[in-house]
Homo-oligomer: A and B are copies of this chain.
Amino acid sequence: MVAANPRHRRPVKIVATFEEARRAATGRVGLVPTMGYLHEGHLSLAAAARPEADTVTMSLFVNPLQFGEGEDLDRYPRHLERDAALAEAVGVDILFAPPLEEMYPVSPVTRVTVAGLSERMEGAARPGHFDGVATVVAKLLAGLRPDRAFFGRKDAQQVAVVRRMVGDLSLPVEIVACPIVRSVDGLALSSRNAYLTADERDRALALSRGLAAAADAADAGERTGSVLEGLVMAGLQEGAGVDPEYAELVSVDEVQPLPYLDRPAFLAVAARVGATRLIDNIHLDPAESVVADRGVRLEGRDLFSRDDDTRPGGH
């Protein structure tokens, strides 16, 4: 687990409105946007923000706009008290937890769309998802006015969409992308891991194992997109009970398919494990050590280890 920062022992201030959040912030503001039900991935973003900001604001809002019909909006895990304690422990100053009426006092008719980057992979699998993401992130950046905003590379396509939106709309904020945090067994942390049974969790390791195999091949000189993608898919098809959706090598900025690894890229995978849809990726940069970012592994148990009884649905 990310260590508590002893220099920041101020109690976290929970606010419900944009105006309170702006008023409570001083100096350089670092924003960590989340949908709550925090795990070490979120906490690592707050920890990255802490030394770079006078005020670390974490937003916590389960954004209906980015959920599609039949997705898990209603059962998405929520637990404000628990989140506030975890946020405070890593030095978050302000927890912006707006009720739906603050975010959408009237039914919102404005949408922010980012064409081109939003259409493949998660955009194809979840129609309207990135419009919902771009709209709510534009709103958080416009309304909270951070100097920097911290996003996890777990949602690599989201990072690309947000970066492009910020540039196109001249939002004066720097987007910082942070490494994926993985459990000791390799599973990328996700609030949705809370849905997995013990058996499903074991099967879910096929995603990170496939990516690790592809990363090893890239390290050994493999550059062909279809070969790297094939290694990920092979890992998925071995395991019963894992329903693969895609494995794609795409450019980091434009999110376009790469037949050949000749520029910064990420190799992304999506699969369904039981009723739960999971995604994962690794970042590859041929100009660097090839595998630029496989993510960071926790050394001990994560917050959602099986015997942690704060885990919802865990029985």
User: What residues make up the interface of A, taking CB atoms closer than 8 Å to B?
Assistant: 18-19, 22, 103-106, 108-117, 134-135, 138-143, 145, 164-165, 167-172
Asked if residues A165 and B110 are in contact (CB atoms below 8 Å), the reply is yes
Quick one: given A113-B113, A145-B145, are A108 and B168 in contact (CB under 8 Å)? yes
Nearest-CB distance from A94 to chain B (Å)?
16
Asked if residues B143 and A109 are in contact (CB atoms below 8 Å), the reply is no
CB neighbours of A171 from chain B (8 A)? 142-143
Asked if residues A113 and B111 are in contact (CB atoms below 8 Å), the reply is yes
CB neighbours of A142 from chain B (8 A)? 138, 141-142, 169-172
Nearest-CB distance from A211 to chain B (Å)?
28
Give which listed residue, B22, B139, B168, contacts A169 with CB less than 8 A.
B139
A94 to B153, CA, bound (A): 40
Which B residue sits closest to A118, measured CB to CB? B109
Asked if residues A110 and B169 are in contact (CB atoms below 8 Å), the reply is yes
Asked if residues B105 and A110 are in contact (CB atoms below 8 Å), the reply is no
Asked if residues B105 and A138 are in contact (CB atoms below 8 Å), the reply is no
A112 to B109, CA, bound (A): 10
CB neighbours of A110 from chain B (8 A)? 112-115, 134, 164-165, 168-169
Which B residue sits closest to A110, measured CB to CB? B168
Which B residue sits closest to A161, measured CB to CB? B110
CB neighbours of A165 from chain B (8 A)? 110
CB neighbours of A169 from chain B (8 A)? 110, 112, 135, 138-139, 142-143
A170 to B101, CA, bound (A): 12
Asked if residues B167 and A106 are in contact (CB atoms below 8 Å), the reply is yes
Nearest-CB distance from A63 to chain B (Å)?
13
A207 to B19, CA, bound (A): 43
Asked if residues B109 and A18 are in contact (CB atoms below 8 Å), the reply is no
Most buried by B among A115, A142, A164: A142
